[in-house]
Amino acid sequence: MLRLSLVLLLSLFIKSQEYLEYSHPFHPTVSDKGMVVSQNYIASDIGAEILSKGGNAVDAAVAVGFALTATLPRAGNIGGGGFMLIYDAKNQTIVSLDFRSMSPELATPDVFRKDGEHQSSLSRSGYKAIAVPGTVDGLFTAHELYGSMDMKDLIQPTIDLCIEGIPLTNDLYGAIQNTKTLTRDKESTRVYLDENLKVGGKIKLLDLAETLIKIRDEGKAGFYDGKIADKIEKAMIENGGLIRKSDLKRYKTNITQPISIEYRDKSIFAQGPPSGGGVVILTALQILKNFNYSDLKPNSAQYLHILAESLKHGHQNRSKFIGDPKFYSAPLEDMLSDDNGIRRAKEIDFKKTTSSDRINRVTRSIESDYKESEDTTHYSIIDDSGNAVSVTYTLGYSFGSGVTIPGTGILTNSQMNNFASNYGLEKSLSRSTSEANKLDPFKRPMSTMSPVMVFDKDGSLELITGSPGGSKIPAINLQVLINVIDFDLDIGLATMMPRIHQDWPYYSLQVEKTLNNDTKRILETYGHKPKESKTMGSTQSIHIKDGVNFGFADLRRPDAKVSVQK
């Protein structure tokens, strides 16, 4: 009898061990209800609360967009711009909103030049770096198209938060203390660098609350016209800035179709110009679908080599041909064609890196100092009817230009830095000399931001994702897509696999520290020169399988969260 009992106990122990043995520690949040995934836990909760009150995915996206202005001020914004993909489940349609920041009428290359050279300090921080913000118009446009709740109810949670105070987490406090540009602006110093602010305390944004009340009560005109616009123009004139009230009144969100390709048996949708990020992703996928690497591992050197080589071609396309489509027509059909993908795939050697000269077929030149900030943010949302939103928006650098418009609480962007500042000054392969992205008044600069959606062969939504990361955004998004589609990883592991980044023309391969050393050594034998990078991006993703939502907030940046509709 004792022997039998021991056998039964051992059997139960073995079974319990099998049940508790998980394949990895990165567990998605699972629900058949609506879901919000963002880089800040408070913003995610606000979005989920909107869904719980009967709002749809767009309602939640608007609420989250405003909330991140307060809870993630280094990237969340009403003083910047971005892109949004919206999927309407009832009509099975997908649209793109381009609310990218726009150069003001007074912006010309000469404004940023001295003695024939571009002065990067002017386009990266301070008043001249600020482009016309698009976020408020973008959020209102989304609501006008698909919103169901009263706009006032979507803005009010952030107003309340600004008045009550935003918790100062280690991440938020550290970001404030490590941003030197805030110290160069009197108003930003007053708001964010009060010596009484400590970790664990709260920061009250009362001027921002008043601005949001104006927007709540007057609509987008409360931002682009009236007293707020007066304060923006006054600060600009007093500090040598370029934006005027006429620029603010002129701003309009562009409603377009996203760009897309077929990859394996999926339809991949990404953001089109002025985003170059979507072009990089889809160019690389068109190349990669000519290779069968599903029997490799997602962290194997051979796969990562092919991936890096395909990214070179993708970044070449975006560097040379992408700018504001109202000013420059990119040859998208040719760039994203199957034939072009096949031709470029043939350029890839399985055991050797491809030179930039061979990709471009033009004279070699030096590398540019053109920089793209990694301080952006992304959020993904789905409601219980299957409507979905994928949003990436930015201030540019961390806390944007570093400027807060006095009396408004509005942190402003540094997007004038994203134009090809050396166009006409030199000839090179560098994207800083691109004709497509040269600076003109009323033009939107090229960006690597690209929200993404994936649909299966039956047309059902399968994946919503996106990331911050500057020029790394395409590689980050691309690796999540391939990890899910080709390697059949769940969204948790697909997110947390080590990442690489390969730019063009003469940049080294960057790899996260978690990539194993043996893989790095093999990559070196192919001709790569791997450089360790800090964490790449912060993807916020929802994977839909059999009607169930699997959400995962990237662990690379703290305070992110998956929140579920009650």
CB 54 within 8 A of CB 148: yes
Instruction: Reply yes or no on whether 376 is catalytic.
Output: yes
Catalytic residue among 179, 376, 377, 448: 376
Residue 242: Cβ within 10 Å count? 22
Three-state DSSP at 410 gives: strand
Helix axes 517-525, 301-321, angle to 10 degrees: 60
Q: Which residues are CB-neighbours of 201 under 8 A, at least 6 positions away?
A: 165, 167, 168
With 0-12 CB in 10 A as exposed, 13-18 as middle and 19+ as buried, what is 145?
middle
The single-letter DSSP state of residue 202 is E
Q: How far is CA 75 from the centre of its chain?
A: 10
Amino acid, res. 171: D
Amino acid identity for residue 527 in this structure = G
Q: Distance (Å, rounded) from C-alpha 474 to C-alpha 314?
A: 9
Residues 131 and 129: their CA atoms lie apart, in Å, by 7
3-state DSSP call for residue 166?
Answer: strand
Residue 79: which of 452, 402, 455, 447 has the closest Cα? Answer: 402
Query: How far apart are the C-alpha atoms of 423 and 109, rounded to whole Å?
Result: 9
Please give the C-alpha separations between residue 494 and each of 481, 488, 518, in angstroms, as whole numbers. 8, 8, 21
Helical (H) or strand (E) element with 287: helix 277-288
- Length of the chain counted residue by residue: 566
Q: What is the Cα–Cα distance from 269 to 272, expressed in whole angstroms?
A: 9
Strands 531-533 and 510-512: parallel
Residue type at position 451? P
- Grouping H, G, I as helix, E, B as strand and the rest as coil, residue 459 is coil
Q: Would you please indicate which residues are annotated as catalytic (active-site) residues?
A: 376
